[in-house]
Amino acid sequence: MFSIMLLFCTSLLSSYKAKECSTTTPLFVMLGTDAHLEVTEPVHLVQHSQFRWTFNNSVNIVRVFSDNTNRTHDNYKNRATISGDYSLLLKNLQQVDKGYYTAVFLSDVDKCLAEYSITVEDLVSAPELTVESVSNNSDLCVLTVNCSAQDSHIQSTLRYDANNCSLLEGETSKVTADGASLQIKLVNCSVSCNHRNHVSELKAVKKIQHFCPTKSASNKTTQVVIPVTVIGICLVLSIGLFLKRRPTGRTQTCENTIYDTLQNNNSVQTVAPNPPSFSSTTIYAHPEPDQSTRTPNIDSVETLYARIDQSAKTKPPSSHHGQHN
């Protein structure tokens, strides 16, 4: 009796080992989508043989018999479809569908044809990235970076110096409660907060330069402004010099001079000085040249000539008045 029971147990153990798969393929599926499970070896059903897909080695999702008839579990009638090559299509996967799916050929010796480990994941939530200044001067900028998503949070410190960025200390990555990862990355002086799992990834990015106006940036601005200013000044001076040297046409000179031209007699008459209000006027008296030698005044200068008539402008001497008396 004992020998019979031992033989039976050995047979069961051999059967279990035969159904074990040498490899298990991990498969990550987005929540609400489908999964296609393939058989890695060809299947040839013979009399008294059977093929089946199982879930966690306990639920027969679908069974195919030697006469090519099949039977699907009630819980999978609208969610599982087997094709002619014995591959399985699972529809609208939910979190409860996470587990092991095994394709087994049952005959005199059972054989595992394929096994998948399915993980169902939802889309990750958008991460939140905040950057705060710890110290900031013209030569060095130190910042604190906070990266968070849902109930997870990590923090790091970084420095920015003359366009060179580096992480100093702190936590740069973390695995969240739902199996996703939270990570701080620094690429080309841009810091990012990454929230990802196997089916989705979202990130927030900020440029470090926006928080650190360093001396190098100021120098670049100065290097641009100074040459532009110098060029502008030189241009204005050049235009002014050009306009100053430009010919402006003939200039006429107006002289406020009174010439007292005498008549043919060459005696010089004495003219009373002008009133004080005309003190700026200069008075000249000279003989009038002969008409034959006088040349016309072609250049019309604004000169006032006063022809003084000797008989009209002067009175007879007082001695003559005495003789008449």
Mean pLDDT per segment of 10 residues, for the chain of length 325 residues?
Answer: 40 47 95 96 91 96 95 95 96 97 93 96 96 84 94 93 85 91 94 97 93 58 57 80 66 45 43 43 44 44 44 46 43
Cβ 53 vs Cβ 102: under 8 Å: yes
Neighbours of 186 (CB within 10 A): 16
Instruction: Give residue 139's pLDDT.
Output: 76
E strands of the chain, at which residues?
A: 25-30, 35-37, 50-55, 59-65, 70-72, 80-82, 88-90, 99-106, 111-121, 128-136, 141-149, 152-161, 164-170, 173-175, 181-187, 190-196, 201-207, 257-261, 282-286, 304-307
pTM over cut 0.75: no
Cβ 225 vs Cβ 218: under 8 Å: no
Neighbours of 53 (CB within 10 A): 28
* Residues facing residue 164 across a β-bridge: 161
CB-based burial label for 131 (10 Å; 0-12, 13-18, 19+): middle
Q: How far apart are CA 34 and CA 79, in angstroms?
A: 9
CA atoms within 13 A on the CB side of 195: 23
- CA of 56: how far to CAs of 59, 75, 98, 152, 308, in Å? 7, 15, 9, 32, 142
Q: How far apart are CA 245 and CA 243, in angstroms?
A: 6
Nearest to 107 by CA among 42, 18, 10, 24: 18
Instruction: Give residue 249's pLDDT.
Output: 52
Cβ 86 vs Cβ 27: under 8 Å: no
φ/ψ of 175, rounded to 5, equals -95, 125
Instruction: Give residue 40's pLDDT.
Output: 86
Instruction: Give residue 115's pLDDT.
Output: 97
How big is the CA angle at 251 (ends 245 and 252), to the nearest 5 degrees? 165
Instruction: Give residue 295's pLDDT.
Output: 45
Decide: helix, strand or coil at residue 124.
coil
Instruction: Give residue 157's pLDDT.
Output: 94
Q: Which residue has the tokens 């790091």?
A: 156
Decide: helix, strand or coil at residue 318.
helix
Domains along the sequence of the chain with CATH: 16-121 (2.60.40.10), 128-215 (no CATH), 254-287+301-317 (no CATH)
Q: How far apart are CA 46 and CA 305, in angstroms?
A: 146
Q: Which residue has the tokens 């639920």?
A: 59
